[in-house]
Amino acid sequence: MTAKNLIIVESPAKAKTIHKILGPSYDVTSSMGHLRDLPHSRLGVDLEHDFEPHYIVIQKRRKFAKELRENARNRQAVYLAPDPDREGEAISWHLAQLLNEDEKSQAQKKKRQAEKKPKTPKSNSKKASNGAAQKSPQTRKLYRITFHEITESAVKAALKHPGTIDVKKVNAQQARRILDRLVGYSLSPLLWKKIGRGLSAGRVQSVALRLIVDREKEIEAFVSQEYWTIEAALQKASGGASFTAQLERIGEEKPQIPTQQEAEKLIDELRKQSYVVEDIEDKEQRHLPKPPFTTSTLQQEAFHKLGYSSARTMRIAQQLYEGLELGKGNPVGLITYMRTDSVRIADEAMKALRHFLQDEHGTDFLSEKTRLYKSKKGAQEAHEAIRPSSLSRSPESLKAYLNEEQFALYQLIWQRTLASQMADARDRVVSVRIAAGRYRLKAVGRTNIFAGWKTVYQETSENEQQPQQQDQQQEEKTLPVLSVGEPLTLLNVSPSEHFTKPPRRYTDASIVKTLEEQGIGRPSTYAPIIQTIVSRNYVSRTGGSLFPTELGRMVSDMLVEHFPEVMDVKFTAQMEEELDQVEEGSQEWVSVVRHFYTPFSQRVSIAQEQMREVKREVIPTEHRCDKCGKPMVIKWGRFGQFLSCSDYPNCKNAKPIPSGVACAQEGCNGELVERRAKGRTFYGCSNYPNCRYTTHRLPKTEGSDPSHPQKDPENPGVAPAQG
């Protein structure tokens, strides 16, 4: 039986959840993503006529599109329910185009048939035979509905107030799609022609690549400086536990101790001094909880706490959002929509959250007033933060139904949501200044007096980007009870050697943080940006850090030289803002595209002429081609540098560049060669597939780079498959 109403969403899991919620009066089907897009084989954008896009039904989706059109015929109402953001709006718009075209052609068909055989009530269409549609001359109604969580109340509320497609949102998405298309279709062939076959470049991804390349150059240019600090162990004159104090001042100056010699000179001096408590500051320090999750903060925290890449986090979050079967119960969406830059919590949910905290943790642990967090500028205030759809589903109660990663992510979202409305954590901080002649030392004690929100959520260090600043010691440390004027006994003075550290390489977490801070990318694009540059072999993920490959550096440098705007962070952020303005209705999408494209296309023409032809700069080697005996040369390709026969294209022999390091497998005479798989670089044997030896790092470089973190969160200690 076909229901009168049809709901179309973009994913099968979501369709299943909604179907279970609504029962048989609605059919629910999924478009499985986009059905229409720009064509694959040509630009598909009319440069002569206001960048008019020529969308086509995606080749592989033609059969499905036809079925969907038939499915939607003779319905009373069709509800388009893709996700509540630009992408979802665009999918809805494309679906509406498809269905409306179909309705028109069906109407014409009927009209023609009616003219031919006016007496015959039957129609050719199978579905039309149920009669209802023929009796009612009314046309099918097409609605757009949105909801931020897939729960009974949210879906039913959306159906009660169906809306129409927001054309401004669609235009914003269209402008982005066209900009990306224009850049991709111009830059990729250029790279192909100038550097190597198969290379490509995109708009926002290239800026992210540049950030990573620039960071690598900073690290290379960094010169580490030695410096020393001095610490004293002290004790009350009456004895008792010892405590430590740092040398803070020499006279009015902060101590600058560049060498061991100077440190020892100071230590000699400090040994001769008498120590007395000069000042005590005793105060309460409050720590505020963080706002509930947005896409960006969820990705950052999931990386720090669970070791997940941004893409992995989004994949799991989507499963939680779209709904999971909970035992015999109906599937239900466990969290709100995961692509958001809003930290707002809807009024109803806020009420429930505060009640829950009061009941579960008591009034003391509830923040006095409702905490209202500010979303970043330009955030979609109609959106919500990422939170559990119902607090009645505690992580523990779901544990049996979720897999390990779903449970871990749900728990993280749960805890962060709770913490966001809990009372401040309070520490007592005692700072003691100690006088020793012209020297001043400082000892700090910290004790927690109220855990507040920290009972449910662990804070992550903010200093990932600035290793220079020692982490603000948050750990507890007690000092003996001291009073001003009290003499102290010096037990020991000791120096410690330090070195200034280069900035850290980006990780999934810190690049997402940076992209958001700089205004590049949006919740829907952070994870794909990283995935794209990794899959293009411009960046490799090693030990959780993002390293530019040689190929990535070359492409980035060439693009920076010839396309300074495209590679400029501020310029790209400006483009993002203009797209937001299209969505708000304060800019026309065509003018945004034109404003970008006119100067860009000039740059492309100049680069065609002037860009270095790296492709021609082949590097000779001593290797001989094992097929034709001619010398092999080094060229650039999609996987970086490789050995190619100098007689290309007559001889197409190509192979990876040997490292000069012998294979470690016993009895194998092969040599290790660099290979890549899934964005990781590793070394495999030149005798592959006969020898399957692999290693992450060449033996001679093993352990020589202390800046590599030890843990690879995505792939702990497992060599990727060769291939």
Residue 326 found at the interface with Zn ion (CB under 5 A): no
- CB contact at 8 A, 255 and 249: yes
Residue identified by tokens 């402008």 is 175
Residues 676-695 that bind Zn ion (CB under 5 A): 685, 687, 691, 693
If the CB atoms of residues 219 and 668 are measured against Zn ion, the closer one turns out to be 668
Among 202, 552, 670, 713, binds Zn ion (CB under 5 A): 670
Please name every residue paired with 276 in a beta bridge, in sequence order, or none if there are none: 435, 487
Q: Is the peptide bond before 649 cis (omega within 30 degrees of 0)?
A: yes
If the CB atoms of residues 597 and 683 are measured against Zn ion, the closer one turns out to be 683
Cα angle: 513, vertex 517, 518; to 5 degrees: 120
Look up residue 9 and give its two tokens: 């969403």
Residue 276 found at the interface with Zn ion (CB under 5 A): no
If the CB atoms of residues 539 and 685 are measured against Zn ion, the closer one turns out to be 685
**Taking the complex as a whole, how short is the minimal distance between the CB of residue 168 and Zn ion, in angstroms?**
58
If the CB atoms of residues 179 and 673 are measured against Zn ion, the closer one turns out to be 673
Contact segment (CB under 5 A) with Zn ion among 85-93, 188-196, 326-334, 646-654 equals 646-654
- CB contact at 8 A, 645 and 654: yes
* Measured distance CA(717)–CA(543) in Å, rounded: 9
Residue 455 found at the interface with Zn ion (CB under 5 A): no
If the CB atoms of residues 529 and 625 are measured against Zn ion, the closer one turns out to be 625
**Taking the complex as a whole, how short is the minimal distance between the CB of residue 686 and Zn ion, in angstroms?**
7
- Per-residue three-class SS string for 201-224: CCHHHHHHHHHHHHHHHHHHHCCC
Contact segment (CB under 5 A) with Zn ion among 82-90, 424-432, 668-676, 694-702 equals 668-676
**Taking the complex as a whole, how short is the minimal distance between the CB of residue 632 and Zn ion, in angstroms?**
8
Among 634, 668, 677, 719, binds Zn ion (CB under 5 A): 668
**Per-residue binding letters, 39-68, with Zn ion (x by CB under 5 A):** ------------------------------
**Taking the complex as a whole, how short is the minimal distance between the CB of residue 687 and Zn ion, in angstroms?**
5
If the CB atoms of residues 589 and 682 are measured against Zn ion, the closer one turns out to be 682
Please name every residue paired with 507 in a beta bridge, in sequence order, or none if there are none: 545
**Taking the complex as a whole, how short is the minimal distance between the CB of residue 550 and Zn ion, in angstroms?**
24
Among 133, 386, 482, 625, binds Zn ion (CB under 5 A): 625
Among 624, 627, 678, 711, binds Zn ion (CB under 5 A): 627
Residue 448 found at the interface with Zn ion (CB under 5 A): no
Contact segment (CB under 5 A) with Zn ion among 77-85, 215-223, 536-544, 617-625 equals 617-625
**Taking the complex as a whole, how short is the minimal distance between the CB of residue 722 and Zn ion, in angstroms?**
11
- CB contact at 8 A, 168 and 144: no
Look up residue 309 and give its two tokens: 């890449």
Residue identified by tokens 């296309």 is 601
Q: Distance between terminal CA atoms of the chain?
A: 49
**Taking the complex as a whole, how short is the minimal distance between the CB of residue 79 and Zn ion, in angstroms?**
60
Residue 298 found at the interface with Zn ion (CB under 5 A): no
Q: Which residues contact residue 480 at a Cβ distance below 8 angstroms, ignoring those fewer than 6 apart?
A: 236, 240, 241, 243
Residue 628 found at the interface with Zn ion (CB under 5 A): yes
409 Cα distance to chain centroid: 15
86-106 burial, b if ≥16 CB within 10 A, otherwise e?
Answer: bbbbbbbbbbbebbeebbeeb
* Measured distance CA(174)–CA(593) in Å, rounded: 10
Contact segment (CB under 5 A) with Zn ion among 240-248, 250-258, 428-436, 657-665 equals 657-665
Give the binding-site size for Zn ion (rule: CB under 5 A). Answer: 14
* Measured distance CA(400)–CA(123) in Å, rounded: 52
225 Ramachandran zone, left/alpha/beta (phi>0; psi -120 to 50): beta
If the CB atoms of residues 123 and 687 are measured against Zn ion, the closer one turns out to be 687
**Taking the complex as a whole, how short is the minimal distance between the CB of residue 13 and Zn ion, in angstroms?**
44
* Measured distance CA(64)–CA(36) in Å, rounded: 11
Residue 255 found at the interface with Zn ion (CB under 5 A): no
Among 618, 651, 654, 662, binds Zn ion (CB under 5 A): 651
If the CB atoms of residues 189 and 658 are measured against Zn ion, the closer one turns out to be 658
**Per-residue binding letters, 169-208, with Zn ion (x by CB under 5 A):** ----------------------------------------
**337 catalytic residue (yes or no):** yes
**Taking the complex as a whole, how short is the minimal distance between the CB of residue 721 and Zn ion, in angstroms?**
16
Residues 380-409 that bind Zn ion (CB under 5 A): none
Contact segment (CB under 5 A) with Zn ion among 115-123, 386-394, 608-616, 648-656 equals 648-656
User: Annotated catalytic residue: which of 308, 337, 538, 693?
Assistant: 337
Residue 581 found at the interface with Zn ion (CB under 5 A): no
DSSP structure string for 132-199 = HHHH--PPPEEEE---SS-SHHHHHHHHHS-B---HHHHHHHHHHHHHHHHHHHHHHHHHHHHT-TT-
Angle, helices 550-562/203-221, rounded to nearest 10 degrees: 110
255-266 burial, b if ≥16 CB within 10 A, otherwise e?
Answer: bebeeeeebeeb
If the CB atoms of residues 239 and 649 are measured against Zn ion, the closer one turns out to be 649
**Taking the complex as a whole, how short is the minimal distance between the CB of residue 627 and Zn ion, in angstroms?**
4
Cα angle: 663, vertex 666, 669; to 5 degrees: 50
Tell me, what DSSP letter sits at residue 426?
Answer: E
Residue identified by tokens 């995961």 is 338
**Strand runs labelled E in 557-677:** 619-624, 631-637, 640-645, 654-655, 658-662, 671-677
Contact segment (CB under 5 A) with Zn ion among 30-38, 516-524, 557-565, 641-649 equals 641-649
Among 172, 663, 672, 673, binds Zn ion (CB under 5 A): 663
If the CB atoms of residues 250 and 651 are measured against Zn ion, the closer one turns out to be 651
**Taking the complex as a whole, how short is the minimal distance between the CB of residue 635 and Zn ion, in angstroms?**
13
216-233 burial, b if ≥16 CB within 10 A, otherwise e?
Answer: beeeeeeeeeeebebebe
Residue 645 found at the interface with Zn ion (CB under 5 A): yes
Please name every residue paired with 684 in a beta bridge, in sequence order, or none if there are none: 673, 694
Please name every residue paired with 282 in a beta bridge, in sequence order, or none if there are none: 430
Contact segment (CB under 5 A) with Zn ion among 175-183, 203-211, 653-661, 698-706 equals 653-661
If the CB atoms of residues 450 and 688 are measured against Zn ion, the closer one turns out to be 688
If the CB atoms of residues 257 and 685 are measured against Zn ion, the closer one turns out to be 685
Tell me, what DSSP letter sits at residue 502?
Answer: P
**Taking the complex as a whole, how short is the minimal distance between the CB of residue 646 and Zn ion, in angstroms?**
7
* Measured distance CA(591)–CA(581) in Å, rounded: 12
User: Rule CB under 5 A: which residues touch Zn ion?
Assistant: 625, 627-628, 645, 651, 653, 663, 665, 668, 670, 685, 687, 691, 693
Positions annotated as catalytic residues are 337
